[in-house]
């Protein structure tokens, strides 16, 4: 992607990391007080923002990046879109072997 998009994503990640550091300090100060749970919740939310901003930066920099939630189903969809590979054939054979004998071709 463009340099502007990269710079914007990097700036947002830096900002989220600064906010996380701020909430980490507030949480450390709140340990043992009534505000501990609230401070911990804010720290966790800040951590999620850092992860999301990091994922966004990776996506901006790498057009093949599938994201944090990419799992086997997204990989299979990509494989199917490309026309399959030897792994796809092996997976089909395995699936066929798991069917009851009466329903096999």
**Mind listing the pLDDT tens digit of every residue in the chain (105 residues)?**
578 888 999 999 999 999 999 999 999 999 999 999 999 999 999 999 999 999 999 988 887 666 666 666 666 666 677 776 545 444 555 555 555 555 445
- Residues 54, 19 share a domain: yes
Distance CA 83, CA 86 (A): 10
Q: Where are the alpha helices (DSSP H) in 62-101?
A: 72-81, 86-98
- Residues 51, 17 share a domain: yes
With H, G, I as helix, E, B as strand and everything else as coil, classify residue 84.
coil
Distance CA 19, CA 73 (A): 34
- 91 is in which domain, residue-wise? 71-105
- Residues 45, 95 share a domain: no
What does the DSSP 8-state code read for residue 103?
G
- Residues 49, 3 share a domain: yes
Distance CA 87, CA 90 (A): 5
């Amino acid at each position: 992607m463009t340099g502007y998009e990269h710079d914007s994503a990097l700036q947002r990640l830096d900002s989220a990391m600064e906010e996380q550091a701020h909430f980490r300090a507030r949480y450390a100060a709140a340990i043992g007080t009534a505000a501990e749970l609230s401070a911990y919740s804010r720290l966790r939310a800040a951590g999620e923002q850092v992860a999301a901003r990091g994922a966004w930066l990776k996506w901006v920099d790498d057009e093949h990046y599938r994201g944090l939630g990419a799992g086997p189903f997204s990989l299979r969809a990509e494989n199917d879109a490309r026309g399959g590979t030897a792994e796809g054939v092996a997976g089909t054979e395995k699936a066929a072997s798991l069917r009851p004998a009466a329903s096999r071709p």
